[in-house]
């Protein structure tokens, strides 16, 4: 007898563990249930808005399984438009995100049949929770930075996805920080060697642009080039002939991946400021960069200056670099 009860308990547990059978519904059934739940939806939205989740769940239980699924879907849609979340709403959305609807929607046409989930509220609930978590993290970031409590290396720690998510949050929130808060983050880049191992230059480039700090720019030009350092170089080029832009474009030529772009930007200056002319003249005499610099200057209309230099120099390297660039420009 006891053995029989044990067998029934085992069978019951097995059935509970098995996934629910997927029930197909037609497009017409889907549209019908969507219409049928409309009268009940207003009251349920009110319960959600007031965070009366216990009563919400109690009333949901009065509907058929199909109607419950349609109502959950509509309520999650409403949650996206209402946006404001509290602990009770978050807990309810977490429950929806963990659910998997048993109903599938079948669509048929000329020679095709497509079956998909009828109600995708689980995915939409998860998306809403992710957005809310990012908003909470962003608010916390601003509070901690302005209070001087955030250690950037710790905050950015984690796998690559975590680092990128938090980088994007930091970049978005920099505008919300006080000047003291921005300086607090910049100083960490100058003092914490752990930040040298960040996977990209996003935050460093933005802080350098905001502060104009030479130390941050030195780090940026020494690091591996990526979309962020290139974007900052382009921004500086647009700022020419501002002194900061001139000095940092000259500094960026030390980076092998950025030097061609930096030389090109400097060569657009007409007339060349004295400090830029002196700087480029020194580069023209170098075996490594001389021909590159000469070609950039020729392309930007400085051929007359280079021709005069070539005629008056006794330096073999300088003369060769200049003549090579000038001859390449001839038709």
Q: What is the pLDDT of residue 181?
A: 96
* Residue 218, C-beta contacts closer than 8 angstroms, at least 6 positions apart: 251
Give the other-Cβ count within 10 Å of 131's Cβ. 13
pLDDT at residue 328 is higher than 50: yes
**Band (18; pLDDT cuts 50, 70, 90):** very low
Cis bond before residue 85 (omega within 30° of 0): no
Q: What is the pLDDT of residue 26?
A: 87
pLDDT at residue 118 is higher than 60: yes
- Closest by alpha carbon to 65, among 28, 25, 125, 115? 25
- Closest by alpha carbon to 197, among 148, 160, 166? 160
What φ, ψ does residue 270 adopt, rounded to 5°? -140, 120
Give the residue carrying structure tokens 């992710």.
130
Is residue 56 within 8 Å of residue 45, measured between CB atoms?
no
**Band (331; pLDDT cuts 50, 70, 90):** low
Q: How far apart are CA 326 and CA 104, in angstroms?
A: 71
Instruction: Quickly list DSSP for 118-150.
Output: S--HHHHHHHHHHHHHHHHHHHHHHHHHHHT--
Helix (H) or strand (E) holding 67: helix 65-82
Q: What is the pLDDT of residue 134?
A: 93
């Amino acid at each position: 007898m006891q053995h029989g009860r044990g067998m029934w308990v085992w069978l019951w547990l097995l059935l509970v563990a098995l996934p629910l059978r997927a029930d197909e519904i037609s497009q017409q059934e889907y549209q019908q249930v969507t219409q049928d739940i409309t009268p009940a939806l207003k009251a349920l939205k009110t319960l959600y808005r007031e965070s009366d989740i216990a009563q919400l769940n109690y009333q949901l239980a009065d509907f058929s399984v199909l109607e419950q699924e349609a109502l959950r879907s509509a309520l999650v849609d409403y949650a996206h438009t209402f946006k404001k979340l509290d602990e009770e709403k978050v807990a309810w959305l977490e429950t929806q995100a963990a659910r998997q609807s048993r109903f599938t929607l079948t669509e048929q046409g000329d020679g095709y049949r497509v079956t998909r989930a009828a109600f995708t509220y689980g995915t939409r609930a998860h998306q809403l929770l992710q957005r809310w978590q990012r908003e909470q993290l962003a608010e916390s970031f601003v509070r901690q930075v302005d209070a001087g409590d955030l250690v950037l290396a710790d905050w950015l720690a984690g796998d690559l996805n975590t680092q990128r998510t938090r980088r994007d949050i930091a970049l978005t929130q920099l505008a919300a920080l006080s000047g003291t808060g921005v300086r607090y983050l910049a100083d960490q880049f100058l003092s914490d060697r752990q930040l040298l191992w960040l996977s990209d230059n996003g935050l460093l480039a933005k802080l350098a642009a905001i502060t104009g700090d030479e130390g941050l720019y030195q780090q940026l030009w020494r690091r591996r080039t990526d979309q962020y350092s290139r974007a900052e170089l382009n921004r500086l080029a647009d700022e020419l002939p501002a002194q900061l832009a001139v000095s940092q474009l000259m500094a960026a030529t030390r980076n092998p991946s950025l030097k061609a772009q930096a030389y090109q930007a400097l060569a657009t200056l007409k007339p060349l400021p004295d400090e830029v002319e002196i700087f480029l003249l020194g580069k023209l005499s170098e075996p490594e960069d001389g021909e590159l610099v000469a070609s950039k200057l020729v392309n930007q209309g400085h051929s007359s200056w280079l021709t005069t230099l070539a005629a008056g120099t006794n330096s073999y390297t300088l003369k060769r670099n200049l003549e090579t660039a000038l001859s390449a420009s001839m038709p």
